[in-house]
């Protein structure tokens, strides 16, 4: 018996008809995220990376100089400044990035990709692309619909 279907059944049974689909959607998103993130992090474990640290490296690798201000990283990844500090601490200890002073603004510090960091992010991307991103269990058409709906929900919540 599926716990989520059961929860929705209970919601209907209590007469909460207006809220039942939304409850099921929220609970499903939480569960699917847990499963997807788990799968991704299992793959990344070989590289001693979490998804958060992987995303940070990925972003640096996409940038022109392989280097971005801490604040910019937080804005693009949509995480708190503290999380960036934490992640960069860890990545620096692993030798994947280094901290450098900003050339003109003494307040900001730059996180810069090392050769080792560029190497690991390329290898990790290849693995994720092949094992997880290539197939999330939906057809191509379904995936696009799924994305459209996710984007719509996101739009509502971000404004």
With beta carbons less than 8 A apart as the criterion, state whether 110 and 99 touch.
yes
Smaller CB distance to its own copies: residue 32 or 45? 32
Q: What residue has token string 């050769």?
A: 115
Partner interacting with residue 88 (select from DNA, its own copies, none; CB below 5-8 Å by kind): DNA
Neighbours of 63 (CB within 10 A): 15
24 in contact with its own copies (CB under 8 A): yes
Dist. CA 31–CA 33, nearest whole Å: 5
Angle at 124 between CA 43 and CA 153, to 5 degrees: 75
127 in contact with its own copies (CB under 8 A): no
Nearby residues of 121 by Cβ (< 8 Å), 6 or more positions away: 54, 57, 58, 60, 61, 96, 113
**Minimum CB separation from DNA for residue 124, in Å?**
14
Tokens in use for 120? 């690991």
Smaller CB distance to its own copies: residue 10 or 85? 10
21 in contact with its own copies (CB under 8 A): yes
Partner interacting with residue 123 (select from DNA, its own copies, none; CB below 5-8 Å by kind): none
Number of residues that bind DNA (CB under 7 A): 29
Residue from 7, 69, 76, 125 in contact with DNA (CB under 7 A) = 69
Partner interacting with residue 85 (select from DNA, its own copies, none; CB below 5-8 Å by kind): DNA
Side-chain half-sphere exposure of 149, counting CA atoms within 13 A:
8
* Chain residues in the site for DNA (CB under 7 A): 34, 50, 52-53, 69-72, 74, 79-90, 99, 102, 105-110
């Amino acid at each position: 018996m599926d716990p989520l279907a059961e929860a929705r059944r209970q919601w209907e049974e209590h007469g909460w008809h207006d809220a039942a689909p939304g409850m099921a959607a929220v609970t499903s998103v939480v569960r699917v995220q847990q499963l997807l993130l788990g799968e991704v992090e299992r793959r990344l474990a070989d590289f001693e990376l979490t998804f958060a640290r992987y995303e940070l490296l990925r972003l640096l690798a996409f940038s022109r100089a392989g280097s971005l201000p801490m604040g910019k990283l937080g804005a693009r990844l949509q995480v708190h400044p503290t999380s960036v500090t934490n992640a960069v601490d860890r990545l620096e200890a692993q030798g994947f990035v280094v901290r450098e002073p900003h050339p003109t603004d003494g307040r900001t510090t730059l996180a810069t990709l090392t050769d080792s960091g560029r190497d690991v992010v390329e290898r990790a991307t290849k693995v994720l692309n092949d094992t997880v991103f290539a197939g999330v269990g939906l057809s191509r058409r379904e995936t696009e619909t799924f994305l459209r709906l996710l984007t719509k929900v996101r739009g509502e919540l971000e404004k």
